Structure 1
Amino acid sequence: MTVLIDDVRCEALFVSDLQRSHEPTPQNIRDAVHTTVNRLGEAGCAELVAQEFGEHPDCAIGRMRWARTAIRLAFAA
């Protein structure tokens, strides 16, 4: 269950407006995830991730790596 939740969080952060260059705090990351999921829904986040990987795979890989690392840190138990 945790893996699935982390996947949704990663997708939401990936498609959010938050940028790595903003040097976001864990709270910024959590806020961005919640706002994005509320706005787009889980399916909407997944659709946009797929679209981005299809159109810009070279950039999407780095952003997803950042999102995965940021989610682990922001939602650490």
Structure 2
Amino acid sequence: MSPTSTIPMSRADLAKVLFTTRLRPSDRPRPEQVRAAIDDRLHTCGGDPMIYAGLVAQEAGDHPETYAPRMRWALATVAVAYADRMLTAA
């Protein structure tokens, strides 16, 4: 069973996790690649949403010029990858 099937996470939480993966917009990942990358990242970091929030905040501080476009991509990509699944409100 995948981590995202057992841990209730909002679209925003999933986007933060995706933000911290190696996937990039230029990769044009398929939904199954996005879900696999998120599941792998959750498994690696123990599923703690605070870890991802901290990593995203650090990236925003280190690279503010790329933060907003990447987060928009992560939010939109998660919306597509999990369109068929119930997500809690962001």
Q: After TM superposition, give the deviation of residue 6 of structure 1 in Å.
A: 1.0
TM-score by length of 2: 0.76
TM-score by length of 1: 0.88
Runs (4+) of structure 1 moved beyond 6 Å? none
Equivalent residue pairs, number:
74
Which residue matches 2:5? none
Structure 1 CA distance for aligned equivalents of residues 12 and 27 of structure 2: 22
5+ long unaligned stretches in structure 2: 1-8, 85-90
5+ long unaligned stretches in structure 1: none
Q: After TM superposition, give the deviation of residue 38 of structure 1 in Å.
A: 1.6
Does the alignment pair 1:46 with 2:46? no
* Higher helix residue share: 1
Q: After TM superposition, give the deviation of residue 39 of structure 1 in Å.
A: 1.4
* Paired residue type of 2:75: R
Structure 2 CA distance for aligned equivalents of residues 19 and 62 of structure 1: 11
Which residue matches 1:65? 72
Moved more, 22-31 or 35-44: 35-44
